[in-house]
Structure 1
């Protein structure tokens, strides 16, 4: 079996978090492409031209936040099959409930320690790349 190149859409407005994510994933994976959107509106524009294998979504963003983005994706039959993992600092129970109600694949709280964050990110990517994206 050959593993295809993983296409990741990271929706995050914090530049430090974007750098941290790229550094965390590149230490364990080499065959991937990351598309970055700073908010849900940018993400929707990117999704008009490209379909990622997985979306990693922060909730707290300007313009179109994560919940609003989830609602847009859920209502779009061309996009609602893409697994979305919320990767956020929000431990608000209402956010968690709303995200699962909208069909997210997982909800992960960002760790403050880089090594823990790296383990979380790599576990997400390994899970999806091994279980969902292996070409037969």
Structure 2
């Protein structure tokens, strides 16, 4: 009858196939403990995966209550109410000019990037500098 034998070589554990009669009792116990520990790890990992899949699948199948979406676009809200809106076009990359226009009473600002030297970085700085203004 053949069994696996655990040996040590240069500080590393080697497992080799040897005859059963050469295995000593401590080596057999060590090998059994290693197999038991590995089996426990596999079972634990499988259990965790099953639980995570069950939780995820349960949440994915729950029909959600559709709450009305909060409307941040005040220009769109005014149009839906049948009101007129007034806007302006921004050509300058200066955040101060953008903030002055955003707080000047316009309902919306059109940021012109096609026919102006504005870049995405410029526009991001302008919007960030004047966040929360009535006409974004």
Q: State the TM-score, normalized to the length of structure 1.
A: 0.28
Q: Which has the higher contact order (CA 8 A, sep 6+)?
A: 1
Higher helix share: 2
Q: State the TM-score, normalized to the length of structure 2.
A: 0.28
